[in-house]
């Protein structure tokens, strides 16, 4: 597919020109991981320097790619194709952003890969630059193999905060970019194949009251007490979800969860609080009606406004804003992605994972998707984050089997 037809908001690079003029650099997986970890790509920062490195690496091997910027222009996704530019390929999807290191007690520089005791330490080593390095490590062998089915490498941004960094690329599938037949999201699963995870939806609720002397509550509205009522309502919703349980029996904990993370409000003990805000979330089972909990909370809000906040007059109101909504991943037994990943990983069953990923974004676009990558989520987001060298070796074997599959 020619890059000439690409939309204005993507930047195609192809790079076969000049590739024969020099010998490309062949990196080992650890060398690639070392280069990737060296880029400080915390979600609040740009990832473009990392994408520039990857683009240069792909240029050396003559691999065509497309860079997809965000609206602000300070971050980019990259979509590369190994093999024929046709529909039906396999996407290896990994994010480039990492969580912050501030306040964590690292024993070495988090952005310098350290190898010790069979482990590779560094921020993002397991979540998930280890998978990114494995995917990029395929390049030299892939360009010398006659692939019948394409392998795509998709590197995204903002996974750790919104999981929105893949959406602009997904929007080009089937138009400017080939439409894949299967997606493997390489979050750490110990190379088990996960076909399900919960959704995550987060909210910011602000209660606006009216200040008055605490000895005369009828002259105002206490935002703190109204917020307390709402938190109690969320606790009741959480209890109802626990009682409903998990019919699939696959999740830990075995229910949709509801959680209030922060709350702040008021100015003094003897003043009715003018304002109180709290952040809350729910993590829904795949079969949850995503509108159920927002609907229950809206009904609770109406009761609290009428019975508590405005008991003595039209003094206050409540605002709730949805911040992030990451869809869950629902089981799709026998899908192309599941069948392929089970074969590549040498597994005979799927699992569920407790964390959310970009996989639900792909599935929502009608693409068969699973989560399967090296390492353990238990090491993610921790100080001295690491991936074992054994897991990287197993990941290399996984990638070699994928290469063989796509050449057959």
**405 catalytic per annotation:** no
- The catalytic residue among 34, 42, 97, 160 is 97
Residue 76 to residue 362: CA distance in whole angstroms: 18
For residues 2 and 67, the model is more confident at 67
Instruction: Determine what percent of the chain is predicted with pLDDT higher than 90.
Output: 93
CATH for 199-326, among 3.40.50.300, 3.30.450.90, 3.30.70.360, 3.40.50.800? 3.30.70.360
Q: Distance of alpha carbon 293 from its chain centroid, rounded?
A: 22
Residue 199 to residue 258: CA distance in whole angstroms: 12
DSSP string, 20-49: GGSPPP---HHHHHHHHHTS--BTTS--HH
How high is the pLDDT of residue 384? 98
How high is the pLDDT of residue 25? 81
Looking at residue 267, the DSSP 8-state letter turns out to be S
Taking only the tens place, the pLDDT of each residue in 225-263 is 999 999 999 999 999 999 999 999 999 999 999 999 999
Residue 58 to residue 380: CA distance in whole angstroms: 28
Residue 277 to residue 223: CA distance in whole angstroms: 9
Q: Are 385 and 107 in contact (CB under 8 A)?
A: no
CATH for 3-196+328-407, among 3.90.650.10, 3.40.630.10, 3.30.70.1020, 3.40.1280.10? 3.40.630.10
Looking at residue 220, the DSSP 8-state letter turns out to be S
Taking only the tens place, the pLDDT of each residue in 256-284 is 999 999 999 999 999 999 999 999 999 99
Taking only the tens place, the pLDDT of each residue in 105-146 is 999 999 999 999 999 999 999 999 999 999 999 999 999 999
**97 catalytic per annotation:** yes
Taking only the tens place, the pLDDT of each residue in 143-188 is 999 999 999 999 999 999 999 999 999 999 999 999 999 999 999 9
Closest Cα to residue 92, out of 362, 286, 343?
A: 362
For the cut 50, the answer to whether the pLDDT of residue 402 exceeds it is yes
Taking only the tens place, the pLDDT of each residue in 200-232 is 999 999 999 999 999 999 999 999 999 999 999
How high is the pLDDT of residue 21? 57
Looking at residue 180, the DSSP 8-state letter turns out to be P
187 is written with which tokens? 């979050």
Instruction: Determine what percent of the chain is predicted with pLDDT higher than 70.
Output: 95
Closest Cα to residue 341, out of 303, 379, 370?
A: 370
Taking only the tens place, the pLDDT of each residue in 1-37 is 333 334 445 566 654 443 445 678 899 999 999 999 9
Taking only the tens place, the pLDDT of each residue in 347-367 is 999 999 989 999 999 999 999
pTM of structure: 0.90
Q: Which residues contact 88 (CB under 8 A, 6 or more apart)?
A: 149, 150, 178, 179, 180, 181
- Residue ranges of the domains in the chain? 3-196+328-407, 199-326
255 is written with which tokens? 């229910």
| Average pLDDT score over the chain | 94
How high is the pLDDT of residue 12? 61
How many angstroms separate the Cα of 252 from the Cα of each of 132, 188, 322? Answer: 28, 17, 25
- The catalytic residue among 34, 42, 127, 159 is 159
Taking only the tens place, the pLDDT of each residue in 37-58 is 999 999 999 999 999 999 999 9
For the cut 60, the answer to whether the pLDDT of residue 368 exceeds it is yes
How high is the pLDDT of residue 11? 60
């Amino acid at each position: 597919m020619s890059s000439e037809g690409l939309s204005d908001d993507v930047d195609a690079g192809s790079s076969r020109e000049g590739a024969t003029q020099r010998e490309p650099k062949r990196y080992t997986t650890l060398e690639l991981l070392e280069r990737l970890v060296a880029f400080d790509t915390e979600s609040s920062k740009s990832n473009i320097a990392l994408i520039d490195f990857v683009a240069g690496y792909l240029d050396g091997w003559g691999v065509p790619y497309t860079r997809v910027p965000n609206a602000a222009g300070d971050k980019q996704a990259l979509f590369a194709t190994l093999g024929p530019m046709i529909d039906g390929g396999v996407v290896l999807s990994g994010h480039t952003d990492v969580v912050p290191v501030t306040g964590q007690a690292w024993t070495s520089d988090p952005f310098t890969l350290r190898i010790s005791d069979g482990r590779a330490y560094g921020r993002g080593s397991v979540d998930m630059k280890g998978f990114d390095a494995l995917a990029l490590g395929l390049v030299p062998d892939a360009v010398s193999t006659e692939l019948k089915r394409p392998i795509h490498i998709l590197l995204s941004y903002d996974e750790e905060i919104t999981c929105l960094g893949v959406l602009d690329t997904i929007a080009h599938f089937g138009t400017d970019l080939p439409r894949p037949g299967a997606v493997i999201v390489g979050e750490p699963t110990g190379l088990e194949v996960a076909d399900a995870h919960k959704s995550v939806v987060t909210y910011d609720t602000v209660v606006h009251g009216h200040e008055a002397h605490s000895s005369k509550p009828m002259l105002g509205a206490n935002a703190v007490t109204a917020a307390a009522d709402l938190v109690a309502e969320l606790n009741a919703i959480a209890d109802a979800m626990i009682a409903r349980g998990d019919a699939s029996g696959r999740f830990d904990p075995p229910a949709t969860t509801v959680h209030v993370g922060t709350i702040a409000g008021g100015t003094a003990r003897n003043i009715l609080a003018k304002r109180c805000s709290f952040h809350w979330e729910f993590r829904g089972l795949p079969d949850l009606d995503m509108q159920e909990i927002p609907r229950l909370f809206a009904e609770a809000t109406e009761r609290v406004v009428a019975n508590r906040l405005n008991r003595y007059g039209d003094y206050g109101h409540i605002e709730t804003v949805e911040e992030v909504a990451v869809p869950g991943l629902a089981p799709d037994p026998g899908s192309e992605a599941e069948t392929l990943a089970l074969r590549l990983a040498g597994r005979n069953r799927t699992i569920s994972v407790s964390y959310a990923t970009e996989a639900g974004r792909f599935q929502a676009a009608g693409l068969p998707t699973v989560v399967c990558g090296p390492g353990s989520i238990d090491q993610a987001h921790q100080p001295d984050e690491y991936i074992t060298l054994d897991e990287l070796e197993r990941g290399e074997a996984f990638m070699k089997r994928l290469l063989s599959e796509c050449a057959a």
